[in-house]
Structure 1
């Protein structure tokens, strides 16, 4: 196993809580109706295209054209996005900041729309602490596409086999491994500390 010299964090569900249901519990109180809306209208597949770089204006127009009576709830997704990221995970944030404080090379690689990431970065200053970040909405492709890992490695001068990636999505972990990186699946901070220790990193 190569010595790890670079540590790359995902953000959503690793450092920041994300739950699109939060505002919709208020906007669509009926659980069955709310679930139907998020599973059939403002779906994860629809939202991920904003992570790939599609504008919210185009995304909303697409759905409103198909479902004009749902326009208020469709527009509510972006309007209330700030409620979907209500807090950081203090335990994993402690790991993240501890690694930076101890001198490790830490960067971030995230599937995130460009504008919502800019908003998150202002609300959560710890997102400004690493050496840098690759945001999918800014580069035009998303994890687990091979191109985003290669882009991140090139931009930040990472040696793939000396890089460890931390993500809550198993397919994104597999994508990093396919790009030649070491990678671990994040479930909680305790497991993360153990996983890092197995690579010789105390956190």
Structure 2
């Protein structure tokens, strides 16, 4: 019997589309792809998720590596949180599950500064019984350690727990640890998947 539902945040509850954001900033395609690689595919991006580097230091590193586009890199780092908007369909599902008495948790890879801003901005991130965010424990999904931290901290029985994530690799780790995994593609699909368990 399912008692707990664990939500990822990025691209499940909040939109995260860097390429679209770079397009909105007006950068031409070739530059967009370069910025995307320099920032969003960098080691520093993972280090920010792990909470082991500051945004200031990460930005300095980006600009040092690609001095010719430092202005564009700084603008991207200054504005990227603007792309984090609620995915209303999923937010509605989360609120409905809470109203039905399910225990809600969050397990997400997220930068400290970005998470703290979103936590204050959106009340649905304050719903529920608990959370483990990557920067807090210096671990990221799909490493098993971050999942085990959630299960142990809140004494969750994996077999009573659904885990929802937009990354298949992250879902597979949850399933390996005994949770019910749902690979998130869109809110309608999530609603249909949950009907099997809820």
Same fold (TM over 0.5): yes
User: 2:162 — aligned with what?
Assistant: 164
Matches of 2:192 and 2:20 in 1, distance apart? 31
Matches of 2:21 and 2:148 in 1, distance apart? 36
Q: Which runs of 4+ in 1 moved over 6 A?
A: none
- Is 1:21–1:84's contact at 8 Å kept on the other side of the alignment? no
Matches of 2:75 and 2:125 in 1, distance apart? 25
Q: What's the secondary structure of 1:17's corresponding residue?
A: coil
User: 2:145 — aligned with what?
Assistant: 147
Aligned residues: 196
User: 1:69 — aligned with what?
Assistant: 68
**Normalising by structure 2, what TM-score?**
0.91
1:35-50 matched pairs, under 5 angstroms: 35-39=33-37, 41-46=38-43, 47-50=45-48
Residue-by-residue CA offset, 1:95-153 (whole Å, 9 max, x unaligned): 11100111110111011011100001122111111212111011101000000000011
1:1-203 matched pairs, under 5 angstroms: 3-39=1-37, 41-46=38-43, 47-53=45-51, 54-85=53-84, 87-199=85-197, 201=198
Matches of 2:77 and 2:27 in 1, distance apart? 19
Following TM superposition, by how much is the alpha carbon of 1:26 offset from its aligned partner in structure 2, in angstroms? 4.6
Q: What's the secondary structure of 1:134's corresponding residue?
A: strand
Following TM superposition, by how much is the alpha carbon of 1:23 offset from its aligned partner in structure 2, in angstroms? 4.1
Matches of 1:30 and 1:109 in 2, distance apart? 35
Matches of 1:45 and 1:183 in 2, distance apart? 28
Unaligned runs of 5+ in 2: none
Matches of 1:22 and 1:191 in 2, distance apart? 23
Q: What's the secondary structure of 1:112's corresponding residue?
A: coil
Unaligned runs of 5+ in 1: none
